[in-house]
Amino acid sequence: MNNIFDSHCHYSDSAFDSDRYELIERLHRDGVSEFMLASSNVCECEDNLELAGRYDYVYTAVGIHPEAADETDPDICGMLEKWAENPKVKAIGEIGLDYHYEGYSRERQISLFKSQLELAQRLGLPVIIHSRDASKDTMDILREYMPKGVVHCFSGSAETAREVISIGMYVGFTGVLTFKNAKKALRALECVPAERLLLETDCPYMAPVPFRGKRCDSSMIEYTAEKAAQIKNMDVQELIDITNCNAKKLFGVV
């Protein structure tokens, strides 16, 4: 398989410290045509900018993950805006809400989420949305701002997927589609038209079956694509090609 666009990956993660550059170069030779790096905090933004600058086919988003909201300077958007002047920055993300763990301020998460949405609108950039155990608040805010972007690593219901699409956004799926307990995700996938679908790894996390529990990389997208094509009753390469076009359109990649 070729022409794969991994629309969400974390190659600045320490899991890749031993072979980061060799791996990216090999993956590109083997059919991964583009990579979109997602950022979660200030350090990852800086590392991703450096990494994207090394390769014509690697792009990045800059943004602050909700779990970093409590430790983030309230004026972070000024720094994000400066970073976004770099032509390799194609999105603001990953941003959103995460209520999975106790001990985080929901108010700080919501405030940071909204300020980054406003920044993305001001800059004309799409957003990469993270939402975990926070579907209602996430969707209320997305309806308020109506951004262009993607809800990545989608874990919501089919009804929520329809709502995301109605806003005009894309829906991204990971190797979760291959898990035995993926019935909810598969039902959501059924509702997503091919022209609104993105494929991603979220690597080094979310490795698909048969690699579950191991370090994930972009080559494993083919297993997610195979499962998605089966559900959509499509040829696998055709689905990969469509999702590649979708990602290029969303992120403004020529």
- Give the rounded percent of residues in the chain with a pLDDT score beyond 90: 96
Q: For the chain, give every domain's residue range.
A: 4-251
What integer pLDDT is reported at residue 243 of this predicted model? 98
Residues 172, 154 contacting (CB under 8 angstroms): yes
pLDDT in tens, 38-63: 999 999 999 999 999 999 999 999 99
d(CA 166, CA 189) in angstroms, rounded, equals: 15
Q: How far apart are CA 249 and CA 104, in angstroms?
A: 35
Say if residue 74 is preceded by a cis peptide, omega within 30 of 0.
no
pLDDT in tens, 160-184: 999 999 999 999 999 999 999 999 9
List the CATH code of the domain at 4-251.
Answer: 3.20.20.140
**What three-state secondary structure class fits 15?**
helix
Per-residue confidence band for 117, with pLDDT thresholds at 50, 70 and 90:
very high
In angstroms, the CA 200 to CA 4 distance is 9
Between CA 5 and CA 245 the distance in angstroms is: 9
Please name which of 199, 186, 189, 178 lies closest in space to residue 241, comparing C-alpha atoms. Answer: 199
pLDDT at 54: 98
Segment 21-37 mean pLDDT: 98
Peptide bond into 71 cis (omega under 30): no
Spatial contact of 197 and 228, defined as CB atoms under 8 Å apart:
yes
172, two tokens: 């991204």
Query: Which amino acid is residue 171, in one-letter code?
Result: V
Q: Which residues contact 26 (CB under 8 A, 6 or more apart)?
A: none
**Confidence at residue 74, expressed as pLDDT on a 0 to 100 scale:** 81
Q: What's the start-to-end Cα distance of the chain, in Å?
A: 21
pTM exceeds 0.85, yes or no: yes
- Measured CA distances, 128 to 4, 38, 151, 238 (Å): 19, 8, 6, 24
Structure tokens at 202: 């979220």
Q: What is the pLDDT of residues 179-211, one digit of tens each?
A: 999 999 999 999 999 999 999 999 999 999 999
